[in-house]
Amino acid sequence: MLSSAHLVPTSVRLVPSWICSSSRSFMDLKALLSSLNDFASLSFAESWDNVGLLVEPSPPHTVNTLFLTNDLTEQVMEEALQKKADLILSYHPPIFRAMKHVTWKTWKERLVIRALENRVAIYSPHTAYDAAPQGVNNWLAKGLGTCTTRPIHPSTAPNYPTEGAHRLEFSVNHTQDLNKVMSAVKGIGDVSVTSFAARCDDEEQTRVSLNCTQTALMQVLAFLSQNRQLYQKTEILSLEKPLLLDTGMGRLCTLDQSVSLATMIERIKEHLKLSHLRLALGVGKTLESPVKIVALCAGSGGSILQGVEADLYLTGEMSHHDVLDAASKGINVILCEHSNTERGFLSDLQQMLGVHLENKINIILSETDRDPLHVV
């Protein structure tokens, strides 16, 4: 005979997912920064930008929770502290212009103070993520429909393909002359030298090739100008840094099939989760006009989109006069407000970084971060 059992009701407290990090391990800040750079190199960023580690607690600093936000406001900082963030990845750099003091007077200074007091590091990738192949602009292009994309302004590699930015080649006829030349140029810093046999006008020669910096080039030319009898047939080439595949600012997107402007508007609204956006019709265009080519740039795209031939410009904001100029050329313009063209990328970023970092740390999204402008 089975004995009866009484079921006693128990209460279950749901713990927010951002607290459940027992299965996660820690990462040293420096190791994490190295991994973030592997994900999207800071060398992709524009020269004017302020990217990378902006606030660093005294080392060693370990990270269990990485907090993602588009803009780091005081409200977002409060949320990050409540959620025990160790590193805040703020897409926009909260520190851009130089700070002459760090006091409680301004909100950006207060961000720095609160971060340091609570041992929270702050990192910003900004335009590095704009240019990256898997970055913000590629995410924005996903909302257009099936299309092929390429950067409007391609990025170049951070380094030249060989040592130095210049190549100098010349020929030497005699072995004794070659020895003198090689000894001299090898004594100049920042020069790499190779030589190979060549034949010119039925005469055996040695062709000397040097890769060198601008400064070294001047020194080599000074030596050669004083020893004109040693060489002939000189060529100077300026080397170019190679373009990086699928990397750069803005995207020029060619749709597999044209759609009406009205259809494209609905696609963009759905992708960005917006009920409203701003539209400037190009001269002679209507909502039924076809759209085949879209030039886009997340954030503020005026300088990137200027002069690009397309049926539609898509960005967060442009100046009044840039909009007028585009419209006069028959180009439609859609403006969605600055950060509305960026923020949605963070959900994709959360997933990509989870894979890239092998789920070693907890990665959470801000719930209070939002565009400061609202339609009322």
User: What residues are designated binding site for a divalent metal cation?
Assistant: 92, 130, 338, 342
Binding residues: 92, 130, 338, 342
Pairing of strands 27-28, 65-69: unpaired
User: What phi and psi, each to the nearest 5 degrees, are found at residue 70?
Assistant: -80, -45
Please answer whether residues 235 and 217 qualify as being in contact, where contact means their C-beta atoms are separated by less than 8 angstroms: no
CA separation for the pair 155, 43 (Å, rounded): 9
Residue 132: other Cβ atoms inside 10 A? 22
For residue 252, give the nearest of 174, 176, 154 by alpha carbon: 154
**Residue 60: cis peptide before it, omega within 30 degrees of 0:** yes
Give the Cα separation of 277 and 316 in Å (integer). 10
Distances (CA, A) of 116 to 63, 93, 300: 14, 16, 31
E strand or H helix at 221: helix 214-225
Contact between residue 19 and residue 82 where contact means Cβ atoms under 8 Å apart: no
Structure tokens at 123: 């990192």
CA 219 to chain centre: 37
In terms of residues, how long is the chain?
A: 376
CA 52: distance to chain centroid? 11
Dihedral angle of Cα 335, 143, 375, 334, to the nearest 10 degrees:
20
